[in-house]
Amino acid sequence: MFGHRARPSIRRAVSFPFVDIRPCLDSEREAILAVINAAAEAYRDVIPPDRWHEPYMPGAELDEAIAAGVAFWGGEADGELIGVMGIQPVGDVELIRHAYVVPARQGLGVGGALLEHLMQRSSRQVLVGTWAAAEWAIGFYRRHGFALVSPGQTADLLRRYWTIPPRQIETSVVLARPPLGAG
């Protein structure tokens, strides 16, 4: 499922004082869903009500993402998965997908460590889509070198690289690193 059946022989791909960054394992499906669904509570009452559902990410949606090529990486502290982030090659770009940190560990650098680890592994244009109303998420990506894509390009990119409904396209933004048109 995740392409990682056992712990890698080199456990610490990136090490911080409190978090190890490593590929997620097949056996961690429920832990990944728990991280995503706990952190996604931040979207409740922020995103359009017709886009919120319980749970925010059901297991079948996670399975579909993995089948579509999303590779999940995890941040682990004290033997617990505390953050996840996926990366998905699509055409000529890579997409950051499903980036979440458990609420009790947010603001401590876990998300930034995951993002920078994935950026170091990428040699292509990287795009991320998020809800336009999620100002905290937009700020996070901007602090990590992403730039908002113009509104005129956003819908085109969302249609080209993501498989999402039209209503989600209407209520989302795209950020790019490096900024589109740079180099």
Share of the chain above pLDDT 70, in %: 90
In a domain, 35, yes or no: yes
**pLDDT for the residue 15:** 43
pLDDT in tens, 23-63: 999 999 999 999 999 999 999 999 999 999 999 999 999 99
**pLDDT for the residue 36:** 98
pTM of the model: 0.89
Is the pLDDT at 125 greater than 90, yes or no? yes
Peptide bond connecting 55 to the previous residue in cis, omega within 30 degrees of 0: yes
Tell me the helix, strand and coil percentages in the chain, rounded to 5: 40, 25, 35
In a domain, 3, yes or no: no
As a whole number of angstroms, the distance between CA 77 and CA 80 comes to 5
| Burial category of 149 from C-beta neighbours within 10 Å (exposed 0-12, middle 13-18, buried 19 and up) | buried
In a domain, 183, yes or no: no
CATH number of the domain to which 84 belongs: 3.40.630.30
Share of the chain above pLDDT 90, in %: 86
Task: Compute the average pLDDT of residues 87-107.
Answer: 97
Strand 125-131 versus strand 93-101 pairing type: parallel
Peptide bond connecting 178 to the previous residue in cis, omega within 30 degrees of 0: yes
**pLDDT for the residue 181:** 78
Task: Compute the average pLDDT of residues 167-172.
Answer: 95
Residue 169's domain comprises: 14-177
In a domain, 9, yes or no: no
Nearest to 140 by CA among 162, 169, 104, 108: 108
Task: Compute the average pLDDT of residues 68-77.
Answer: 97
Number of other CB atoms surrounding residue 81 within 10 Å: 20
Specify the number of domains making up the chain.
1
In a domain, 70, yes or no: yes
15-29, 141-155, 158-172 — which is least confidently predicted? 15-29
